[in-house]
Amino acid sequence: MTAIHINQVQKRYQSLQALGGVSLAIEEGEFFGLLGPNGAGKTTLISIIAGLIRPDGGSVTIHGHDVQTDFRAARRKLGVVPQELVFDPFFTVRETLRLQSGYFGLARNDDWIDEVMFNLDLTNKADTNMRALSGGMKRRVLVAQALVHKPPVIVLDEPTAGVDVELRQTLWKFISRLNREGHTVVLTTHYLEEAQAMCKRVAMLKAGKIVALDTMSALIRRISGSQLNLHLKGALPPQLQHLITHAELTVPGEYNLRINDYAEVETILARVRESGAVIDEMQLQQADLEDIFLQIMEKGTV
């Protein structure tokens, strides 16, 4: 079953085309990454999914419910953790979560509230006023609010921005558990190592359009290949210059060379030896999501 279906969504702010016909299907139970530079349209798309912004064209459904024409049912299926720290300063943590439960008609939800607070390490802050919490603790409460009605679809918009390592580990442990239990998770983040570790499939946005959409493993194989790091005494042979990546090191004699197949390594080493250069150090590295991201953003497409 499709958890989120996005069909030709468009949004313009005066002269700015924030989204230019985005289409995307996220399947139930996926851990999906929505990536892109600042201004790519990620937050606009999430706001449309959440029903906070009306698109100029296109449609979005959550578990088959249109976010505009069937918004009550759609919002019950969705939990969103926003980027901004938005909170009511007049309530404690527990009161905040009880109030959030009430929005969804959940009058007796204390058992789940206790479980969410325990898993987000908020139990000892349950009776603390929201104003007295640190930024990291407020972020945890935002996550708890998004999960309080047990939504089958969870959208995390930069959930670990500016927070400590402890919260990241706590959050990912709990979110991973929910994903294993069948919840669909959509993540936007600038911490690409998080996306690589958590997401099975990713879409990359640039200037309001999808420029890449594939599984993580397929993108790594198809876009970037691997890299061979060489530290040489002598110059790199001219016939190998075209293999130098954008990540060429500034240390004299040190090069990053892109390879698409491990069989190419022996050919490269033979060319180096023939040129008279001496290899001081050598390291073969698998490309990561950051390499892929930079290449795709530079090219604008796959």
- Amino acid identity, residue 157? D
Residue where a domain terminates, one of 176, 202, 220? 220
Quick one: tokens of 133? 């919490």
142 and 207 belong to one structural domain: yes
Q: What backbone phi and psi angles, to 5 degrees, belong to 25?
A: -125, 125
The reported pLDDT for the residue numbered 225 is 62
Q: What is the mean pLDDT of residues 119-130?
A: 93
In a domain, 234, yes or no: yes
| Residue 245, domain extent | 226-286
Note whether residue 300 is domain-resident: no
Evaluate if residue 95 carries a pLDDT over 50: yes
Predicted pLDDT of residue 248: 47
Kindly report, residue by residue over 246-294, the tens digit of the pLDDT.
554 557 788 888 787 778 888 999 999 889 888 889 888 777 788 788 8
268 and 211 within one domain: no
Query: In a 10 Å sphere around its CB, with 0-12 CB exposed, 13-18 middle and 19+ buried, how is residue 204 labelled?
Result: buried
103 assigned to some structural domain: yes
User: Domain check: are 140 and 102 in the same one?
Assistant: yes
Rounded-to-integer distance, Cα 195 and Cα 187, Å: 7
Tell me the CB-side half-sphere exposure of residue 38, using CA atoms within 13 A.
1
Residues 83, 17 within the same domain? yes
Q: What is the pLDDT of residue 242?
A: 83
Identify the pLDDT of residue 249.
52
Q: How large is the average pLDDT for residues 163-176?
A: 87
Residue 242 forms part of a structural domain: yes
Note whether 153 and 271 are same-domain residues: no
Answer whether residue 297 is part of any domain: no
- Summarize pLDDT for 179-199 with one digit per residue, the tens: 999 999 999 998 898 999 999
Percent of the chain with pLDDT over 70: 96
Q: Give CA–CA dist 15/13, Å, rounded.
A: 6
Q: Please compute the mean of the pLDDT values over residues 119-127 and round it to a whole number.
A: 93
Better pLDDT: 161 or 76: 76
H or E element that contains 81:
strand 78-81
**What does pLDDT average to over the chain?**
89
For residue 224, what pLDDT is reported? 55
How far apart are alpha carbons 254 and 236 in whole angstroms? Answer: 9
Helix (H/G/I), strand (E/B), else coil: 105: coil
Give tens-digit pLDDT for 65-74: 999 999 999 9
Provide the whole-model pTM: 0.80
pLDDT in tens, 10-24: 999 999 999 999 999
How many domains are contained in the chain?
Answer: 2
Parallel/antiparallel/unpaired status of strands 31-35 and 184-188: parallel
pLDDT band at 222 (very low <50, low <70, confident <90, very high): low
* Domain harbouring 138, CATH code: 3.40.50.300
Interhelix angle 135-147/110-119, rounded to 10 degrees, is 140
The mean pLDDT of 225-253, rounded to a whole number, is 78
The residue out of 203, 220, 237 marking a domain boundary is 220
* 151, part of any domain: yes
**Residue 40 pLDDT > 50:** yes
Same domain, 40 and 187: yes
Residues 265, 171 share a domain: no
As a whole number of angstroms, the distance between CA 192 and CA 291 comes to 10
